[in-house]
Amino acid sequence: MTFLRSFAIYLLTLFFMTLYWLALALPVLFILCLPVVRRQHLLRVLLLGFGLLVVRVAWRPFFRVDFQDYSGGRREPGIVIVNHRAATDAFLISVLGLSMAQTVNGWPMRLPIIGWMAHLAGYLDITGWDYETLKNHAATVLSVGDMVASYPEGTRSEAPRMNPFHSGIFQVAKDLDIPVYMLCIAGNQFMPDRKFRFREFRDLKIHFLEQVSREEVRQCATAYVLKKKIFQRMEEELAEMDKELNDENPV
């Protein structure tokens, strides 16, 4: 059953990926001729469109996503901190409707088509770059009004609890004097698991929380204090979301 379930969703995702990027082949070729910063921004917009297509259309027969925005509409360029239970997170964050550069390990950018697009769109190589390079690339992303999305756990947790956060991206927020946002994704810990098998399909919840303003970021003595504050807030929210999911839809 796990194999059939996984096969079906991957097949449909592949179908929509082919359809989407074939339809946009000419615009992409045109965009590739533009200056780097403009090119990266426009490709991020196209990747956002692709993410929405996958989450809202391709995956609709398998599960639904309930998105709630508690941010009060604040959208100044900043860093979006996302908890990381499964590989689907990279697509699920598109429900925010914001063009973003995600921080990724090197390997996803070697995946055919989508990985190449991410690379060309200026996604940030969190493990391959030194701190200064990461900070400078983040500043470039923010300068065109886009967000940086980051998974400070570093790897997928495949569990309701979060792994400890790394401090690097919080230091970037402090150094660049920018706000931080929190995006909590609950329910997808086995969608897919670490071996990329969809062990279950269940509806998901995504909550976009109140902004941590640049003043609040400044007030944190160190990146450690900022990451601790954000970890605690997200941990509380995720516990609540998991409880709601289990009440609505017992496993």
Partner 1 sequence: MENLMNREEIIRVINSIFVERFELDESELTPEKNIVDDLQLDSLDLVDMIIGFQQKFGINLRDNQEIRNVRTLENVYDLFEKLVREHPEIVEKMK
Binding site for partner 1 (CB under 8 A): 131, 164-168, 171, 221-225, 228
Residue with Cβ nearer partner 1 (16 or 129): 129
| 48: helix, strand or coil | helix
Alpha-carbon span 176 to 218, nearest angstrom: 10
Residue with Cβ nearer partner 1 (157 or 167): 167
Q: How far is the CB of 134 from partner 1 (least distance, A)?
A: 11
Reading the block at residue 79, the tokens are: 């860093």
Q: How far is the CB of 201 from partner 1 (least distance, A)?
A: 34
Q: How far is the CB of 85 from partner 1 (least distance, A)?
A: 19
Please provide the distance, in angstroms rounded to a whole number, between the alpha carbons at the two ends of the chain: 16
Q: How far is the CB of 180 from partner 1 (least distance, A)?
A: 16
Residue with Cβ nearer partner 1 (175 or 244): 175
Taking a C-beta distance cutoff of 8 angstroms, is the pair 106, 129 a contact? no
Alpha-carbon span 132 to 140, nearest angstrom: 12
Chain centroid offset of residue 177 CA: 21
Q: Which amino acid appears at position 145 of this protein?
A: G
Residue with Cβ nearer partner 1 (125 or 200): 125
Residue with Cβ nearer partner 1 (130 or 247): 130
Burial label, 215 (beta-carbon count in 10 A; 0-12, 13-18, 19+): exposed
Q: How far is the CB of 213 from partner 1 (least distance, A)?
A: 18
Alpha-carbon span 135 to 169, nearest angstrom: 8
